A and B are shown apart, each in its own frame.
Chain A
């Protein structure tokens, strides 16, 4: 999976640079998040700006990251959701679970408050 990871201090920014987040590549995202948690990172921003399509397994990987961050007293926040990706969160009611920001700079700023 094409994923850019950058430690921004208050949180780690993960930019998913794929058109699709589906059952073919969601395992990679989940593993990369686990690696960050094992390295002691607890606050993540996942930027989905480039993602045009997400399926249930992509959502599952994000839920896994959310639960892992929460269990370590951290947080996983989302940024840059395209309209149809956002409707997937609404369809599955996950928009009530995640904090969703317009872009990654807003999401990162929320960790600095």
Chain B
């Protein structure tokens, strides 16, 4: 069976003005897939959301808002598996602390919970010069 094989590698400055660009790339990937039998518009929204949340976390928490730093994002699809990696170049943050839902009136800390509900697997690991948030979603129905 022929499956979609896509790899996107992008680096943007550590600034929230680029969230829209990255989110739209996620949406467009969902709409472009040739072999996806599920709700395509939901997948488009979900990929926009996951990329926006992961990148905002990298900008604000890991890279501590430093506009001279970069965020590096890899999106790949092969064998019906979508893998998103968001690399930061900072001190990182404690992902496990944010996996459970927050109390409804908390103003912050929902991003990782949202990613966790959409993706099948997430991990946050150190690299040589920062961290990588790796998120995997199975696209098969």
Contact = CB atoms under 8 A, between A and B. Distances in A.
A32 interface: no
Given A22-B19, A24-B19, A55 B52 contact: yes
A56 B52 CA distance: 9
B104 A93 contact: yes
A50 B137 CA distance: 30
Given A60-B108, A92-B114, A97-B105, A24 B17 contact: yes
A: contact size bracket? 20 to 34
Contacts of B111: 55-57
Nearest to B18: A24
Contacts of B114: 55-56, 91-92
A57 B113 CA distance: 13
Which of B16, B20, B108, B110: most chain A Cβ within 10 A?
B110
Interface of B: 16-17, 19-20, 23, 41-42, 45, 48-49, 52-53, 56, 59-60, 101-102, 104-111, 113-114, 117
